[in-house]
């Protein structure tokens, strides 16, 4: 079946950029997503990119998609302590039911 892989942890200093990477296997992926989960809360859709796009920018967030390598990344500029959370990569193909990665815990330290 489809698989979505991402590293489990990322630690950055406040003010630096964070880059969270994700790889997926489903070549029929239509939409790719980034979700954020803050402590004690549900997942919140941060941003998404359609598979025919290479890049999407939304304020401090930049999503890059390399469809050939099936690689998705989320860059957070000027990372703040409030960005500390778990970030989930997800993709949906023909079934429109997302497959999630295991999540990357982003730790932002002063």
Query: 62 with 77: CB under 8 angstroms?
Result: yes
Assign residue 59 a region: left if phi > 0, alpha if psi is -120 to 50, beta otherwise? Answer: left
Nearest to 69 by CA among 59, 54, 83: 54
Of 43, 51, 56, 67, the one binding other proteins (CB under 8 A) is 43
**65 belongs to the binding site for other proteins (CB under 8 A):** no
Task: Decide whether 51 or 84 has the Cβ nearer to other proteins.
Answer: 51
Q: Contact residues for other proteins (CB under 8 A)?
A: 8, 30-31, 33, 35, 41-45, 48, 50, 88, 92, 96-98, 100-103
């Amino acid at each position: 079946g489809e698989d979505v892989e991402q590293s489990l942890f990322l630690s950055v200093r406040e003010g630096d950029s964070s880059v969270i990477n994700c790889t997926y296997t489903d070549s029929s992926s239509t939409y790719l997503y980034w979700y954020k989960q803050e402590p004690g809360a549900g997942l919140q859709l941060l941003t998404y990119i359609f598979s025919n796009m290479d890049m999407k920018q939304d304020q401090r967030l930049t999503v890059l998609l390399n469809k050939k390598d099936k690689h998705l990344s989320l860059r957070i500029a000027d990372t703040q302590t409030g960005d500390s959370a778990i970030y989930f990569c997800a993709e949906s193909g023909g079934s429109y039911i997302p497959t999630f990665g295991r999540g990357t815990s982003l730790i932002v330290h002063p």
